[in-house]
Amino acid sequence: MSLIKRQKQTLVLQQRIGLAQADELLIKFLKNGHITDPDSLGLPSFDPYILEHNDFEHAGHEDELLMYSAQKFISNKKQLIPVEIKIYFLSRKIITNGMGIFGNMRLHKFLETSAFLLKEKNISVNIYLGRDLKEGALFFSNGVAMRFSDNGKSLNNYYINTVESNSIGNEKFSFQNASLSSIESIYDRFSYDNLINCRFSRKPAIRKLLKSFSKLISVSTCAESGQLD
């Protein structure tokens, strides 16, 4: 069986189980801070029993922090990309979910797609980058963190690697604080103005990122930004 035929068959199966497309899933993360409807993930509910019967594996202790995860395929521009769905429980109650993306989903394309939502919801974005600019993160004001990298392709494009959402109504554990602390310990924060004036601004990945942000009216331009020589 050819690769194209296998991809088509997998896409048909994916559509049958109701798993949302890549852009749709990520927009739902941004809109709500997490995925609220299990049917977007092809699930009737987030009940642990249901997860176990849908090939989710768990790690942790049920009375403490417990993570269920499963590898799936989602469609992105008529192509299938592998993802890892993660659903977290604390004291047997769901607190958040997230997703790892292993395909080449371009960051600037998604930002262009979601621009209307960011403007409508007045969601601001902070930009974080590593010193070599090969990887970084976006932290949205609603608590969603999106990590990205150039996937080893010499800064031609940035690709989304993970989406980490905020906790769902649980004051004992804040994924928002955990995600932000992790990001700030690894990357430097940059303003739009700082990036557009740096000597790396002609790199394709940086140029595309800046072009996407230029269309947003709520981009953070915090004074406490990093510096690039």
Q: 109: closest CA among 203, 8, 22, 40? A: 22
SS3 content of the chain, % helix, strand, coil (to 5): 35, 30, 40
Q: 205: closest CA among 131, 138, 132, 108? A: 108
Q: 138: closest CA among 218, 200, 76? A: 218
- The answer to whether 207 and 156 have CB atoms below 8 angstroms apart is no
User: What pLDDT does residue 19 have?
Assistant: 57
- pTM (whole model) above 0.75: yes
User: What pLDDT does residue 10 have?
Assistant: 53
User: What pLDDT does residue 5 have?
Assistant: 58
User: What pLDDT does residue 139 have?
Assistant: 92
CA dihedral (33, 109, 205, 179) in degrees, to 10, reads: 10
- C-alpha distance from residue 35 to each of 30, 31, 114 (Å): 9, 9, 16
Over the range 141-154, which residues count as b (16 or more CB within 10 Å of their CB) and which as e? ebbbbbbbbbbeee
* pLDDT tens across the length of the chain (229 residues): 555 555 555 555 444 344 568 888 889 888 888 888 898 888 999 999 999 999 899 998 777 789 999 998 888 877 888 899 999 988 788 888 999 999 889 999 999 888 888 888 888 889 999 988 899 999 998 889 999 999 888 788 999 999 988 666 555 556 666 678 889 899 999 888 888 887 777 889 999 998 888 776 444 444 344 555 4
User: What pLDDT does residue 170 have?
Assistant: 55
User: What pLDDT does residue 22 have?
Assistant: 83
Residue 123 CA, chain-centre distance (Å), reads 15
First-to-last alpha carbon distance for the chain, in angstroms, is: 52
Strands (E) in the chain, as ranges, are: 57-60, 65-76, 79-90, 93-101, 125-129, 135-140, 145-149, 159-164, 188-190
